Structure 1
Amino acid sequence: MKSRLSSGSLVYSTDSGRMCPDCRQPIAQCVCKAAPKRPTGDGIVRVSRETKGRAGKGVTLVRGLDLDDAALTALGKQLKTLCGSGGTVKDGVIEVQGDHCERLIEALKAKGFTVKRAGG
């Protein structure tokens, strides 16, 4: 059995970004729905701090937000601005550089989310 990577299928295009290996359409327009779905949360937003895989640099992670990609990106931008630091939004998780757990918990509670501190 050949793997998808060895079959020579297109996985990235500079015009469209990531491509579905099955239907060869951009991930946003995938017709076979092979694109990974974000898991639905339990309604609780979890805020944690992590350094794993980041050469000792800490980031604050916000998981469990049940928002679409545009709203998640907008919220990520607001939270990064509030903390005065950089970050990104990847796979439904907002990453903010630095240790800003308490500040993010208070900001998310003010926006009406149910928030818990995760991790140590």
Structure 2
Amino acid sequence: MDLQDQLKNLFPEHIQEVPSDKTEDQNSIWLQDEPIICKYEKRKGKPITILEGYTGANEDFKLLAKEIKQKLSVGGSFKDDKIIIQGDYRDKIMQMLKDKGFNVKRVGG
């Protein structure tokens, strides 16, 4: 008799909850019709990639920023409704966003 069977005998009316999968949270980001603008700049001599033009909730955009930073293993921030990523990762970011279903427009260069 394993632990699960013992728990069922002790608490017969208890219903076991199945934890939700994290991929459902990531896929629940609101998709928009207008393209997200992906542009390249240099600030203080260092390259950065800027994403702007998202019209959904700020929390969704922050989650998207966190996911991009984790997948690329780079630093960045979320300020003034813009995602700022350290380095020139336009191609990789654009491909990630297209895979998620976003329209992306490349600006500058």
TM bucket normalised to smaller: 0.5 to 0.7
* Cα distance in structure 2, aligned partners of 1:89 and 1:111: 19
| Matching of residue 57 in structure 1 with residue 42 in structure 2 | no
Higher relative contact order (CA closer than 8 Å, sequence separation 6+)? 2
Segments ≥4 residues shifted beyond 2 Å = none
Contact 1:42 1:64 in 2 (8 A): no
* Cα distance in structure 2, aligned partners of 1:115 and 1:55: 26
| Matching of residue 48 in structure 1 with residue 39 in structure 2 | yes
| Matching of residue 75 in structure 1 with residue 75 in structure 2 | no
Cross-structure match for 2:96: 107
SS at match of 2:50: strand
Q: What is the number of equivalent residue pairs in this alignment?
A: 78
SS at match of 1:50: strand
Flag structure 1 segments of 5+ consecutive residues without an equivalent.
1-40
Flag structure 2 segments of 5+ consecutive residues without an equivalent.
1-31
Aligned residues: percent identity? 36
Alignment RMSD, CA only?
1.5
Matched residue type, 2:35: I
Give the TM-score of the pair, scaled to structure 1.
Answer: 0.61
- Offset, 1:65: 1.3
Matched residue type, 1:43: E
* Cα distance in structure 1, aligned partners of 2:60 and 2:91: 22
Bigger-Rg structure (1/2): 2
